[in-house]
Chain A
Amino acid sequence: AQSVTQLDSQVPVFEEAPVELRCNYSSSVSVYLFWYVQYPNQGLQLLLKYLSGSTLVESINGFEAEFNKSQTSFHLRKPSVHISDTAEYFCAVTAIYNQGGKLIFGQGTELSVKP
């Protein structure tokens, strides 16, 4: 079985500051990793994913995440945040061996960007 821990439930930051949202996972098998974003009153949108290859993955809006197998982490970072990044962010995993596998989510991190 897999589990995901998002270490911070809320992260307040000022606009243009850097941010890191932490995610650790536990799994006895290899996994795919995802970050999803949920803007207020909207559904979940895929932000970025790690399937294989380069351990550093990037999104189109400046976020990046690095898969660290030894530390079982997949932290999300952005060097300079905008007000529009205010949202809830969810880290998720699924076991690679089970091609139909369900996503296991963390509890979410609420990012609040203040002017």
Chain B
Amino acid sequence: GAGVSQSPSNKVTEKGKDVELRCDPISGHTALYWYRQSLGQGLEFLIYFQGNSAPDKSGLPSDRFSAERTGGSVSTLTIQRTQQEDSAVYLCASRETGDGGYTFGSGTRLTVV
């Protein structure tokens, strides 16, 4: 597609429930990144995919967080047993390796009540 697409744009969930956030990167972009943006924390790196593998998952805050990427395209970030501190905007970005330019999606605003 023309840009990075994320869904849903907004998600309200009850504490303890699992959520899945989806990212559809720009076609042909081999690198995909997840970030979290929350008040007082700025933009935090979560995980990076090159193709379907994740060479760097150092930013995942706990084992409740996981992500996968299939077909070198769509990625899903899963948060299990959500907590209120998980409330944030989750941003996805894709990049054509070597280009230097990252394109961000509009994000998913997650609210845990």
Contacts and interface: CB of A to CB of B under 8 A. Distances in A.
Interface residues of B, number: 23
A: contact size bracket = 20 to 34
A90 B56 contact: no
Interface in A60-99: 90, 92, 94, 99
B97 A106 contact: no
A99 B97 contact: yes
A34 B59 CA distance: 21
A90 B43 contact: yes
B interface secondary structure, majority: strand
B45 A44 contact: no
A25 interface: no
Interface of A: 32, 34, 36, 42-46, 49, 51, 90, 92, 94, 99-108
Contact of B31 (A46, A49, A100, A104): A100
B55 interface: yes
Contacts of B1: none
Given A43-B91, A43-B107, A108-B42, A103 B102 contact: yes
A43 B104 contact: yes
Nearest to B44: A105
Nearest to B107: A43
A104 B44 CA distance: 8
